[in-house]
C-alpha cells in the first residue's frame, strides 16, 4: 500500500477520534496538525485483518487523556490509571469501528490491542501528528499515529474441474397430472420490498416488580444483567433479525452488524 493511502488512513483515524471525543464530552472537537506527544504517553495498538493487514500505534499525551477522562467521569485532578485505560480503549475502539465503515479502510476488520503507558516514545516508520481540541478541553489532546497498513493479497480461486456430462436415460413413465410450479420466494416478496418497517435496537431487558417500578426516579439504576461487551439485538416487528455492536458515526450512535439470521428465516419471521 502506498504512503499516500497510509497518511489518508491516519487522517481519517484522527477525524474519527475527534468525533468520538466530542460526543463523549458533549463538545464539538476539531483536528489540526500537531506535534508528537512528549513526556508521559499512552500507546494504543490497533490491528487490521481482512482486506487490510498491519498494525498502527495511536500515541496520546497523558495530560490530554487525563482531561478527557475527568470530563467523562467527573473525577477532578489526576485520574487513576485504570480509568485512563478504560477511557482510551473505549475512545479508540469506537473510532476504529467507525473507520472500518469508511471507503479508505476497504472493509478491514479493526480491533484494539494492548494499551500501555510510555515515556518519550519516538514515532516509528511513517507517522503523522495531530492536535484534537474542543471547547470543554483545558488542553489540546496530542495524538501521533504511526505504523502501516498493507493490502492483503488473495490468491486467485482455483477453477473447478469440468463435471462429466450427464447421460440421459429415457424410460416410460406413468401418466401424471401437470403440476403448477411454485413461484420462487424472491419473486413472491418483490411486491412488499418497499414497505417501511420499524427497526428497534434492544440494548437489554429485565423484569421489575410493580413496587420497584413505582419507586423509579431520576438517578435510579436498572441492572439489565448483561455485559457492556455483549452484542445488542436488532429487531423488526418484535423479532430478532441481527446482532451488532454500538458505534459512533458522524457524532450519532449507530449499529455495526456482526451477524444476521438467514434470509429465509428473516422472511418467515415477518409472516403473519
CATH code of the domain containing 241: 2.30.330.10
Same domain, 57 and 142: yes
Phi, psi of 247 (to 5 degrees): -135, 170
Which residues, in sequence order, are bridge partners of residue 149?
54
User: What's the CA gap between 236 and 163, in Å, rounded?
Assistant: 43
Structural domain that includes position 22: 3-151
Q: Tell me the residue ranges of DSSP E strands in 50-172.
A: 52-61, 109-119, 127-134, 141-151
Q: Which segments of the chain does DSSP mark as H helices, in order? A: 3-25, 62-73, 81-99, 185-189, 210-214, 263-269
Look up the CATH number of the domain holding residue 125: 3.40.1550.10
Q: Which residue has the cell 475502539?
A: 93
Digitized pLDDT (tens) for each residue of the chain, 272 residues in all: 455 568 888 898 999 999 988 888 888 899 999 998 888 999 999 998 887 888 888 999 999 999 888 888 777 777 788 888 888 988 899 888 888 888 888 778 888 988 999 888 888 888 899 999 998 898 899 999 988 877 765 444 455 556 555 555 455 555 555 555 555 555 666 666 777 778 888 888 888 888 888 888 888 888 888 887 888 888 887 788 888 988 887 778 888 888 887 766 666 655 54
- Of 126, 151, 176, which residue constitutes the final position of a domain? 151
- Of 130, 151, 172, which residue constitutes the final position of a domain? 151
Same domain, 100 and 212: no
- Of 98, 132, 151, which residue constitutes the final position of a domain? 151
User: What's the CA gap between 139 and 125, in Å, rounded?
Assistant: 27
Q: How many domains does the chain divide into? A: 2
pLDDT of residue 191: 62
Q: Which of 139, 111, 114, 142 is nearest to 127 (CA)?
A: 142
Amino acid at each position: 500500500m502506498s504512503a499516500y493511502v497510509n497518511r489518508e488512513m491516519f487522517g481519517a483515524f484522527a477525524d474519527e477520534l475527534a468525533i468520538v471525543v466530542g460526543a463523549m464530552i458533549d463538545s464539538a472537537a476539531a483536528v489540526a496538525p500537531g506535534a508528537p506527544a512528549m513526556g508521559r504517553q499512552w500507546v494504543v495498538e490497533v490491528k487490521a485483518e481482512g482486506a487490510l493487514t498491519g498494525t498502527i500505534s495511536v500515541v496520546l499525551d497523558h495530560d490530554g487523556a487525563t482531561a478527557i477522562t475527568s470530563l467523562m467521569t467527573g473525577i477532578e485532578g489526576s485520574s487513576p490509571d485504570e480509568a485512563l485505560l478504560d477511557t482510551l480503549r473505549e475512545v479508540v475502539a469506537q473510532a476504529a469501528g467507525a473507520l472500518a465503515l469508511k471507503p479508505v479502510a476497504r472493509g478491514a476488520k479493526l480491533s484494539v490491542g494492548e494499551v500501555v503507558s510510555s515515556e518519550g516514545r519516538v514515532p516509528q516508520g511513517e507517522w503523522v501528528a495531530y492536535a484534537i481540541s474542543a471547547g470543554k478541553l483545558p488542553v489540546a489532546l496530542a495524538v501521533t499515529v504511526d505504523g502501516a497498513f498493507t493490502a492483503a493479497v488473495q490468491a486467485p480461486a482455483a477453477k473447478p474441474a469440468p463435471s462429466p456430462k450427464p447421460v440421459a436415460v429415457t424410460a416410460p413413465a406413468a401418466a401424471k397430472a401437470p403440476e403448477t410450479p411454485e413461484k420462487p420466494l424472491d419473486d413472491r416478496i418483490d411486491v412488499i420490498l418497499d414497505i417501511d418497517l420499524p427497526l428497534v435496537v434492544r440494548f437489554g431487558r429485565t423484569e421489575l416488580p410493580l413496587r420497584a417500578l413505582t419507586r423509579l426516579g431520576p438517578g435510579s439504576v436498572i441492572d439489565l444483567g448483561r455485559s457492556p461487551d455483549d452484542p445488542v439485538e436488532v429487531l423488526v416487528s418484535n423479532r430478532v433479525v441481527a446482532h451488532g455492536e454500538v458505534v459512533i458515526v458522524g457524532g450519532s450512535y449507530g449499529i455495526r452488524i456482526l451477524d444476521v439470521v438467514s434470509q429465509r428465516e428473516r422472511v418467515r419471521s415477518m409472516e403473519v
